[in-house]
Homo-oligomer: A and B are copies of this chain.
């Protein structure tokens, strides 16, 4: 794998344009009745046509056999080695809701939860309270006073919130208080490195005060914190690729991930149709476009094979809007597989389609997992997708003399 520093040295700015369409959780597993995956079941005339004129393959987001979270999955797509660049869950949440994290801020992902009269966790999601209710409770918690530390408590969605501590010397090496199961008490925050003792003490103090404040509330009477983390130092896509990159996405996490690699963020409210309208609107101002479709992953996570098929078909129907812009390079792929059969992210390699005037087309007659097995891109790590896109956009000069 080529390192970012080497890419930086050979990348050049140019007018050519790259569109990366990420269909979240795209890869699937065959339905037992038909032997076809979601992508193979869907009627996708435009994607198939693009595959016939392009080159296909299968990529491993992290490493063969490894199921990626959304963070590593997307970092790899943007060309960042997910082993080298890790983004904590707290930071992801902060970026996702547009919270302006400062360099030394400590961020955590919070859940409102329900504890029973013995203090045992009965529901890790507090019955999925509404976002409005969440906002109301966050405002209460935001009034907690901690010595030498400013704190911010912001609602994310449903029962989820963001906690940010701003102060001196707050190393993030602290264990989660969310035990990830019910029937036990919330864990105490513990320093996993000696220098984080102070952070752990402050967090436990915060949790104690929060429990007092929430005591009267019916379902959301306690909090769980996890993913204590700080902004990572990641060189931007502008620095590395000399791209003016923009993200068109609807969900906080993906906007956050794009932001951490320096993309401009354009808020999408509707589905793929609206995202592609935004793409058309901003097309002249950028040269790299990350378009994110979330619903395939949600359908996969829900185990809804048919819905995942339908979302893929919706994307395919909308595709002409993208094709009409005639981007120099089009990448269609996912950040990982989410087979409806497994109801969750999986380790299966992800179909990749690359179209450009300069690709060497293979024999793929359509866009599907099975066609990708024998595609010209072979099986390769997802971090190689960006160098391939850059090359096909003629934005990379020679390596070495």
Query: Roughly how many angstroms separate A67 CA and B358 CA in the complex, as a whole number?
Result: 13
Q: A71-B401, A345-B398, A398-B69 in contact; A64/B380 too (CB < 8 A)?
A: yes
Main secondary structure of the interface of A (DSSP, over half): loop
Query: Roughly how many angstroms separate A62 CA and B2 CA in the complex, as a whole number?
Result: 8
What are 26 pairs between A and B in contact, CB < 8 Å? A2-B65, A10-B66, A29-B358, A30-B360, A62-B400, A64-B377, A64-B380, A64-B388, A65-B386, A65-B388, A67-B399, A69-B398, A69-B399, A69-B401, A72-B400, A73-B400, A82-B399, A87-B400, A89-B401, A341-B358, A342-B358, A345-B398, A346-B358, A347-B388, A373-B375, A373-B378
List chain B residues, Cβ under 8 A from A375. Answer: 373
Query: Roughly how many angstroms separate A345 CA and B68 CA in the complex, as a whole number?
Result: 35
Query: Roughly how many angstroms separate A362 CA and B380 CA in the complex, as a whole number?
Result: 17
Known: A67-B397, A71-B400, A348-B360. 13 other contacts (CB 8 A): A64-B388, A65-B391, A66-B396, A67-B391, A67-B398, A68-B398, A82-B400, A86-B400, A88-B401, A346-B358, A346-B391, A347-B391, A374-B374
When the two chains form the complex, which single residue of B6, B347, B384 contacts A396, counting CB atoms closer than 8 Å?
Answer: B347
User: Is A298 in the interface zone, CB < 8 Å from B?
Assistant: no
Copies in the complex: 2
Scoring A37, A370, A378 by chain B CB atoms within 10 A of each residue's CB, the highest score goes to: A378
Query: Roughly how many angstroms separate A388 CA and B64 CA in the complex, as a whole number?
Result: 6
A384 lies within 8 A of B65 (CB): yes
List chain B residues, Cβ under 8 A from A376. Answer: 58, 373
User: Is A379 in the interface zone, CB < 8 Å from B?
Assistant: yes
A63 lies within 8 A of B379 (CB): no
User: Is A361 in the interface zone, CB < 8 Å from B?
Assistant: yes
Q: Mark A127-166, 1 if CB is under 8 A from B, else 0.
A: 0000000000000000000000000000000000000000
Q: Whole-angstrom distance from the CB of A226 to the nearest CB of chain B?
A: 9
List chain B residues, Cβ under 8 A from A369. Answer: 360
B361 lies within 8 A of A396 (CB): no
B69 lies within 8 A of A400 (CB): yes
Query: Roughly how many angstroms separate A376 CA and B374 CA in the complex, as a whole number?
Result: 8
Give the B-binding residues of A (Cβ under 8 A): 1-3, 6, 10, 29-30, 37, 58, 62-73, 82-83, 86-89, 92, 227, 341-342, 345-348, 358, 360-363, 369-370, 373-380, 384, 386-392, 396-401
A363 lies within 8 A of B358 (CB): no
A373 lies within 8 A of B362 (CB): yes
A65 lies within 8 A of B358 (CB): no
Query: Roughly how many angstroms separate A379 CA and B390 CA in the complex, as a whole number?
Result: 20
When the two chains form the complex, which single residue of B86, B363, B379, B392 contacts A380, counting CB atoms closer than 8 Å?
Answer: B379
A65 lies within 8 A of B387 (CB): yes
List chain B residues, Cβ under 8 A from A2. Answer: 62-63, 65-66, 83
When the two chains form the complex, which single residue of B68, B362, B398, B399 contacts A400, counting CB atoms closer than 8 Å?
Answer: B68
Q: A6-B83, A30-B360, A379-B379 in contact; A401/B65 too (CB < 8 A)?
A: no
List chain B residues, Cβ under 8 A from A92. Answer: 401
A30 lies within 8 A of B378 (CB): no
Q: Whole-angstrom distance from the CB of A272 to the nearest CB of chain B?
A: 25
List chain B residues, Cβ under 8 A from A70. Answer: 401
Q: Whole-angstrom distance from the CB of A333 to the nearest CB of chain B?
A: 14
List chain B residues, Cβ under 8 A from A378. Answer: 58, 373, 378-379
Q: Whole-angstrom distance from the CB of A150 to the nearest CB of chain B?
A: 25
Q: A86-B400, A379-B380, A400-B86 in contact; A387/B6 too (CB < 8 A)?
A: no
Query: Roughly how many angstroms separate A351 CA and B341 CA in the complex, as a whole number?
Result: 28
A384 lies within 8 A of B63 (CB): yes
